[in-house]
Protein backbone atom coordinates (compact mmCIF):
# COMPACT_ATOMS: atom_id res chain seq x y z
CA UNK A 1 0.00 0.00 0.00
CA UNK A 2 1.41 3.47 -0.90
CA UNK A 3 2.65 5.51 2.06
CA UNK A 4 0.05 8.27 1.75
CA UNK A 5 -2.78 5.76 1.46
CA UNK A 6 -1.48 3.84 4.51
CA UNK A 7 -1.19 7.07 6.50
CA UNK A 8 -4.71 8.09 5.50
CA UNK A 9 -6.04 4.68 6.55
CA UNK A 10 -4.23 4.94 9.91
CA UNK A 11 -5.78 8.38 10.47
CA UNK A 12 -9.19 6.96 9.59
CA UNK A 13 -8.77 4.18 12.15
CA UNK A 14 -7.70 6.67 14.84
CA UNK A 15 -10.72 8.86 14.05
CA UNK A 16 -12.98 5.84 14.43
CA UNK A 17 -11.38 5.10 17.82
CA UNK A 18 -12.10 8.63 19.02
CA UNK A 19 -15.59 8.42 17.54
CA UNK A 20 -16.33 5.27 19.55
CA UNK A 21 -15.03 6.87 22.75
CA UNK A 22 -17.17 9.93 22.08
CA UNK A 23 -20.23 7.75 21.48
CA UNK A 24 -19.57 5.65 24.60
CA UNK A 25 -19.22 8.67 26.87
CA UNK A 26 -22.20 10.40 25.29
CA UNK A 27 -24.66 7.50 25.31
CA UNK A 28 -23.61 5.02 28.00
CA UNK A 29 -22.35 7.55 30.55
CA UNK A 30 -25.36 9.82 30.07
CA UNK A 31 -27.69 6.82 30.49
CA UNK A 32 -25.99 5.99 33.82
CA UNK A 33 -26.30 9.65 34.84
CA UNK A 34 -30.01 9.70 34.04
CA UNK A 35 -30.56 6.53 36.10
CA UNK A 36 -28.74 7.91 39.12
CA UNK A 37 -30.37 11.29 38.64
CA UNK A 38 -33.83 9.71 38.79
CA UNK A 39 -32.84 7.68 41.88
CA UNK A 40 -31.79 10.87 43.67
CA UNK A 41 -34.79 13.01 42.73
CA UNK A 42 -36.41 12.62 46.16
CA UNK A 43 -33.18 12.95 48.15
CA UNK A 44 -32.17 15.98 50.14
CA UNK A 45 -29.20 16.53 47.83
CA UNK A 46 -30.96 18.75 45.29
CA UNK A 47 -27.72 19.70 43.49
CA UNK A 48 -26.76 16.10 42.60
CA UNK A 49 -29.65 15.32 40.20
CA UNK A 50 -29.19 18.76 38.62
CA UNK A 51 -25.53 17.96 37.93
CA UNK A 52 -26.36 14.51 36.57
CA UNK A 53 -29.29 15.56 34.36
CA UNK A 54 -27.53 18.67 33.01
CA UNK A 55 -24.31 16.85 32.15
CA UNK A 56 -26.17 13.94 30.54
CA UNK A 57 -28.27 16.33 28.43
CA UNK A 58 -25.17 18.23 27.32
CA UNK A 59 -23.39 14.97 26.41
CA UNK A 60 -26.33 13.99 24.21
CA UNK A 61 -26.58 17.45 22.68
CA UNK A 62 -22.87 17.39 21.81
CA UNK A 63 -23.06 14.00 20.09
CA UNK A 64 -26.20 15.12 18.21
CA UNK A 65 -24.37 18.21 16.90
CA UNK A 66 -21.45 15.95 15.92
CA UNK A 67 -23.74 13.69 13.86
CA UNK A 68 -25.04 16.78 12.05
CA UNK A 69 -21.72 18.60 11.52
CA UNK A 70 -19.30 15.60 11.43
CA UNK A 71 -16.72 17.81 13.15
CA UNK A 72 -14.97 15.19 15.29
CA UNK A 73 -12.22 17.48 16.62
CA UNK A 74 -14.68 20.04 17.96
CA UNK A 75 -16.96 17.36 19.44
CA UNK A 76 -14.04 15.74 21.31
CA UNK A 77 -12.89 19.08 22.74
CA UNK A 78 -16.42 19.93 23.93
CA UNK A 79 -16.81 16.42 25.38
CA UNK A 80 -13.53 16.80 27.28
CA UNK A 81 -14.70 20.14 28.69
CA UNK A 82 -17.96 18.54 29.80
CA UNK A 83 -16.06 15.66 31.41
CA UNK A 84 -13.88 18.10 33.35
CA UNK A 85 -16.88 20.19 34.42
CA UNK A 86 -18.75 17.08 35.56
CA UNK A 87 -15.80 15.79 37.61
CA UNK A 88 -15.31 19.12 39.38
CA UNK A 89 -19.06 19.61 39.97
CA UNK A 90 -19.45 16.10 41.36
CA UNK A 91 -16.45 16.44 43.69
CA UNK A 92 -17.74 19.85 44.79
CA UNK A 93 -21.16 18.41 45.66
CA UNK A 94 -19.90 15.08 47.00
CA UNK A 95 -22.16 12.68 45.12
CA UNK A 96 -24.43 10.11 46.72
CA UNK A 97 -23.24 9.35 50.28
CA UNK A 98 -20.02 11.26 49.56
CA UNK A 99 -18.86 8.74 46.92
CA UNK A 100 -17.93 11.31 44.25
CA UNK A 101 -14.21 10.55 44.36
CA UNK A 102 -14.79 6.95 43.21
CA UNK A 103 -16.37 8.20 39.97
CA UNK A 104 -13.38 10.34 38.97
CA UNK A 105 -10.93 7.55 38.08
CA UNK A 106 -12.30 6.57 34.61
CA UNK A 107 -12.16 10.11 33.27
CA UNK A 108 -8.36 10.64 32.86
CA UNK A 109 -8.33 7.71 30.42
CA UNK A 110 -11.32 9.20 28.59
CA UNK A 111 -9.48 12.51 28.20
CA UNK A 112 -6.47 10.73 26.70
CA UNK A 113 -8.76 8.91 24.30
CA UNK A 114 -10.53 12.09 23.21
CA UNK A 115 -7.68 14.60 23.03
CA UNK A 116 -4.43 12.77 22.34
CA UNK A 117 -1.37 12.63 24.57
CA UNK A 118 -0.22 16.25 24.76
CA UNK A 119 -3.61 17.94 25.17
CA UNK A 120 -4.91 15.24 27.50
CA UNK A 121 -1.82 15.51 29.73
CA UNK A 122 -2.35 19.27 30.02
CA UNK A 123 -6.08 18.89 30.78
CA UNK A 124 -5.44 16.16 33.34
CA UNK A 125 -2.78 18.32 35.01
CA UNK A 126 -5.20 21.26 35.26
CA UNK A 127 -7.92 18.94 36.55
CA UNK A 128 -5.54 17.48 39.15
CA UNK A 129 -4.44 20.92 40.37
CA UNK A 130 -8.04 22.08 40.67
CA UNK A 131 -9.02 18.94 42.58
CA UNK A 132 -6.07 19.45 44.96
CA UNK A 133 -7.22 22.99 45.68
CA UNK A 134 -10.80 21.83 46.27
CA UNK A 135 -9.86 18.92 48.52
CA UNK A 136 -7.15 20.57 50.60
CA UNK A 137 -9.12 23.79 51.05
CA UNK A 138 -12.40 22.20 52.18
CA UNK A 139 -14.11 25.52 52.85
CA UNK A 140 -14.30 26.06 49.08
CA UNK A 141 -16.62 23.10 48.44
CA UNK A 142 -19.94 21.79 49.71
CA UNK A 143 -18.85 18.19 50.34
CA UNK A 144 -16.80 17.02 53.31
CA UNK A 145 -13.97 14.56 52.72
CA UNK A 146 -11.57 13.15 55.27
CA UNK A 147 -8.01 14.38 54.93
CA UNK A 148 -6.65 10.84 54.62
CA UNK A 149 -9.30 10.04 52.00
CA UNK A 150 -8.38 13.14 49.96
CA UNK A 151 -4.62 12.45 50.03
CA UNK A 152 -5.08 8.79 49.06
CA UNK A 153 -7.43 9.83 46.26
CA UNK A 154 -4.95 12.36 44.84
CA UNK A 155 -2.08 9.83 45.02
CA UNK A 156 -4.19 7.20 43.25
CA UNK A 157 -5.33 9.69 40.63
CA UNK A 158 -1.72 10.71 39.92
CA UNK A 159 -0.85 7.04 39.35
CA UNK A 160 -3.82 6.60 36.99
CA UNK A 161 -2.84 9.69 34.98
CA UNK A 162 0.81 8.59 34.75
CA UNK A 163 -0.15 5.07 33.62
CA UNK A 164 -2.55 6.51 31.01
CA UNK A 165 0.16 8.90 29.82
CA UNK A 166 2.78 6.13 29.53
CA UNK A 167 0.36 3.92 27.62
CA UNK A 168 -0.75 6.60 25.14
CA UNK A 169 2.70 8.19 24.81
CA UNK A 170 4.36 4.95 23.78
CA UNK A 171 1.40 3.96 21.63
CA UNK A 172 1.87 7.20 19.68
CA UNK A 173 5.64 6.66 19.49
CA UNK A 174 5.05 3.14 18.20
CA UNK A 175 2.68 4.47 15.55
CA UNK A 176 5.20 7.14 14.51
CA UNK A 177 7.94 4.52 14.28
CA UNK A 178 5.72 2.32 12.11
CA UNK A 179 4.83 5.38 10.04
CA UNK A 180 8.52 6.19 9.45
CA UNK A 181 9.23 2.55 8.62
CA UNK A 182 6.39 2.51 6.10
CA UNK A 183 7.66 5.78 4.63
CA UNK A 184 11.19 4.37 4.39
CA UNK A 185 9.96 1.20 2.68
CA UNK A 186 7.89 3.26 0.27
CA UNK A 187 10.88 5.47 -0.49
CA UNK A 188 13.12 2.46 -1.12
CA UNK A 189 10.52 0.82 -3.34
CA UNK A 190 10.16 4.02 -5.40
CA UNK A 191 13.90 4.82 -5.68
CA UNK A 192 16.51 3.46 -8.07
CA UNK A 193 19.33 2.18 -5.87
CA UNK A 194 22.17 3.19 -8.22
CA UNK A 195 21.23 6.75 -9.18
CA UNK A 196 18.93 7.55 -6.22
CA UNK A 197 16.39 8.87 -8.73
CA UNK A 198 12.75 7.86 -8.72
CA UNK A 199 11.90 4.69 -10.60
CA UNK A 200 9.02 3.58 -12.84
CA UNK A 201 7.05 2.32 -9.82
CA UNK A 202 7.03 5.85 -8.40
CA UNK A 203 5.43 7.13 -11.60
CA UNK A 204 2.69 4.49 -11.62
CA UNK A 205 1.92 4.26 -7.89
CA UNK A 206 2.40 7.82 -6.65
CA UNK A 207 2.97 10.56 -9.22
CA UNK A 208 0.20 9.67 -11.66
CA UNK A 209 -2.29 9.33 -8.80
CA UNK A 210 -1.36 12.80 -7.50
CA UNK A 211 -1.71 14.31 -10.97
CA UNK A 212 -5.18 12.79 -11.30
CA UNK A 213 -6.23 14.05 -7.87
CA UNK A 214 -4.62 17.52 -8.06
CA UNK A 215 -4.26 18.42 -11.76
CA UNK A 216 -3.92 22.16 -11.07
CA UNK A 217 -0.70 21.49 -9.16
CA UNK A 218 0.99 19.87 -12.17
CA UNK A 219 -0.57 20.73 -15.52
CA UNK A 220 0.53 21.56 -18.16
CA UNK A 221 3.19 18.88 -17.85
CA UNK A 222 6.30 18.33 -19.96
CA UNK A 223 8.02 14.99 -20.56
CA UNK A 224 11.69 14.77 -21.49
CA UNK A 225 12.84 11.30 -22.44
CA UNK A 226 16.63 10.88 -22.30
CA UNK A 227 18.73 7.96 -23.52
CA UNK A 228 22.55 7.79 -23.28
CA UNK A 229 24.08 7.27 -26.70
CA UNK A 230 26.09 4.09 -27.40
CA UNK A 231 25.82 3.00 -23.77
CA UNK A 232 26.57 -0.65 -24.62
CA UNK A 233 29.89 0.40 -26.14
CA UNK A 234 30.72 2.30 -22.92
CA UNK A 235 30.05 -0.84 -20.89
CA UNK A 236 32.12 -2.96 -23.27
CA UNK A 237 35.01 -0.49 -23.15
CA UNK A 238 35.11 0.43 -19.46
CA UNK A 239 33.11 -2.33 -17.80
CA UNK A 240 29.93 -2.06 -15.77
CA UNK A 241 31.62 0.10 -13.14
CA UNK A 242 32.38 2.67 -15.83
CA UNK A 243 28.80 2.49 -17.04
CA UNK A 244 27.51 2.95 -13.50
CA UNK A 245 29.71 6.03 -13.08
CA UNK A 246 28.15 7.53 -16.21
CA UNK A 247 24.63 6.85 -14.96
CA UNK A 248 25.40 8.48 -11.60
CA UNK A 249 26.98 11.49 -13.31
CA UNK A 250 23.90 11.93 -15.52
CA UNK A 251 21.64 11.72 -12.46
CA UNK A 252 23.72 14.41 -10.75
CA UNK A 253 23.44 16.57 -13.86
CA UNK A 254 19.65 16.30 -13.69
CA UNK A 255 19.66 17.42 -10.05
CA UNK A 256 21.70 20.52 -10.89
CA UNK A 257 19.47 21.59 -13.75
CA UNK A 258 15.95 20.74 -12.61
CA UNK A 259 13.68 22.75 -10.34
CA UNK A 260 12.56 21.53 -6.93
CA UNK A 261 9.11 20.62 -8.29
CA UNK A 262 10.51 18.59 -11.22
CA UNK A 263 10.95 14.81 -11.22
CA UNK A 264 13.83 12.78 -12.65
CA UNK A 265 13.17 9.04 -13.02
CA UNK A 266 15.26 6.15 -14.25
CA UNK A 267 12.91 4.06 -16.36
CA UNK A 268 15.37 1.71 -18.05
CA UNK A 269 19.00 0.66 -18.09
CA UNK A 270 20.30 3.91 -19.63
CA UNK A 271 16.93 5.60 -20.16
CA UNK A 272 15.54 8.44 -18.06
CA UNK A 273 12.25 10.31 -17.94
CA UNK A 274 12.13 13.91 -16.71
CA UNK A 275 8.70 15.22 -15.70
CA UNK A 276 8.36 18.99 -15.45
CA UNK A 277 5.12 20.53 -14.09
CA UNK A 278 3.86 23.95 -15.19
CA UNK A 279 6.20 24.52 -18.11
CA UNK A 280 5.75 25.38 -21.77
CA UNK A 281 6.88 23.22 -24.65
CA UNK A 282 9.56 25.73 -25.63
CA UNK A 283 10.95 25.94 -22.09
CA UNK A 284 11.06 22.14 -21.88
CA UNK A 285 13.06 22.05 -25.12
CA UNK A 286 15.46 24.60 -23.62
CA UNK A 287 15.92 22.51 -20.45
CA UNK A 288 16.65 19.39 -22.53
CA UNK A 289 19.15 21.29 -24.70
CA UNK A 290 20.89 22.71 -21.63
CA UNK A 291 21.31 19.24 -20.12
CA UNK A 292 22.45 17.77 -23.45
CA UNK A 293 25.11 20.49 -23.86
CA UNK A 294 26.43 20.18 -20.31
CA UNK A 295 26.62 16.39 -20.56
CA UNK A 296 28.59 16.51 -23.82
CA UNK A 297 30.95 19.16 -22.43
CA UNK A 298 31.54 17.26 -19.18
CA UNK A 299 34.51 14.91 -19.59
CA UNK A 300 34.29 11.47 -18.04
CA UNK A 301 37.41 9.81 -16.67
CA UNK A 302 37.98 6.07 -16.45
CA UNK A 303 41.29 4.23 -16.15
CA UNK A 304 43.14 7.56 -16.53
CA UNK A 305 41.42 8.08 -19.87
CA UNK A 306 39.09 10.99 -20.57
CA UNK A 307 36.13 10.47 -22.87
CA UNK A 308 32.90 12.21 -23.82
CA UNK A 309 29.34 11.00 -23.33
CA UNK A 310 26.34 12.20 -25.28
CA UNK A 311 22.61 11.60 -24.97
CA UNK A 312 19.53 11.99 -27.13
CA UNK A 313 16.33 13.67 -25.95
CA UNK A 314 12.64 13.60 -26.87
CA UNK A 315 10.19 16.21 -25.58
CA UNK A 316 6.38 16.21 -25.35
CA UNK A 317 3.63 18.09 -23.49
CA UNK A 318 0.33 17.01 -21.96
CA UNK A 319 -2.51 19.24 -20.76
CA UNK A 320 -4.60 16.76 -18.75
CA UNK A 321 -4.10 13.63 -16.67
CA UNK A 322 -5.76 11.43 -19.31
CA UNK A 323 -2.96 12.33 -21.77
CA UNK A 324 -0.20 11.23 -19.37
CA UNK A 325 0.66 7.90 -20.97
CA UNK A 326 0.17 9.33 -24.46
CA UNK A 327 2.56 12.17 -23.57
CA UNK A 328 5.22 9.71 -22.37
CA UNK A 329 4.78 7.67 -25.53
CA UNK A 330 5.14 10.80 -27.69
CA UNK A 331 8.31 11.82 -25.85
CA UNK A 332 9.67 8.31 -26.48
CA UNK A 333 8.81 8.66 -30.18
CA UNK A 334 10.65 11.99 -30.29
CA UNK A 335 13.63 10.32 -28.59
CA UNK A 336 13.85 7.68 -31.34
CA UNK A 337 13.60 10.46 -33.90
CA UNK A 338 16.65 12.11 -32.29
CA UNK A 339 18.48 8.76 -32.37
CA UNK A 340 17.64 8.20 -36.02
CA UNK A 341 18.74 11.74 -36.89
CA UNK A 342 22.26 11.10 -35.63
CA UNK A 343 22.03 11.17 -31.81
CA UNK A 344 23.24 13.86 -29.38
CA UNK A 345 20.30 16.13 -30.10
CA UNK A 346 16.84 17.17 -28.90
CA UNK A 347 13.65 16.50 -30.81
CA UNK A 348 10.18 17.64 -29.91
Catalytic sites, residue numbers: 270
Nearest one of 159, 78, 143 to 114, comparing CA atoms: 78
Three-state SS at 237: helix
If one counts every other C-beta atom within 10 angstroms of the C-beta of residue 56, the result is 23
Indicate the DSSP class of residue 313.
Answer: E
DSSP letter string, 72-107: HHHHHHHHHHHHHHHHHHHHHH--GGG-GGGGTTHH
Three-state SS at 312: strand
CA distances (Å), origin 111, targets 22, 121, 132, 185: 10, 8, 18, 34
DSSP letter string, 7-41: HHHHHHHHHHHHHHHHHIIIIIIHHHHHHHHHHTT
User: d(Cα 314, Cα 332) in Å, to the nearest integer?
Assistant: 6
Question: Do 310 and 279 form a contact (C-beta atoms < 8 A)?
Answer: no
Question: Do 258 and 264 form a contact (C-beta atoms < 8 A)?
Answer: yes
Question: Do 79 and 26 form a contact (C-beta atoms < 8 A)?
Answer: yes
Cα 122 to its chain centre, rounded Å, is: 24
Look at phi and psi of residue 196 and say left if phi exceeds 0, alpha if psi is from -120 to 50, else beta: left
Residue 124: CB partners within 8 Å, gap ≥ 6?
108, 111, 112, 161, 164, 165
Amino acid sequence: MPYKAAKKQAQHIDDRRRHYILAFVSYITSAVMFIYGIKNLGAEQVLLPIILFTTAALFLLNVFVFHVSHNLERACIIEAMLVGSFVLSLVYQGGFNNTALYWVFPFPAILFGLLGVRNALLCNALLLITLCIMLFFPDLIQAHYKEAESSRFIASLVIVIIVCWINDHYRERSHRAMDLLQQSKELQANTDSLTQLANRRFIDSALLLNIQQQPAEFLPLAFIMCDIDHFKKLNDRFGHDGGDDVLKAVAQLFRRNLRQQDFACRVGGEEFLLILPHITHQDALSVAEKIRTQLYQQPMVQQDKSYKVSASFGVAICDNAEQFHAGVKLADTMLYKAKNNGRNQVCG
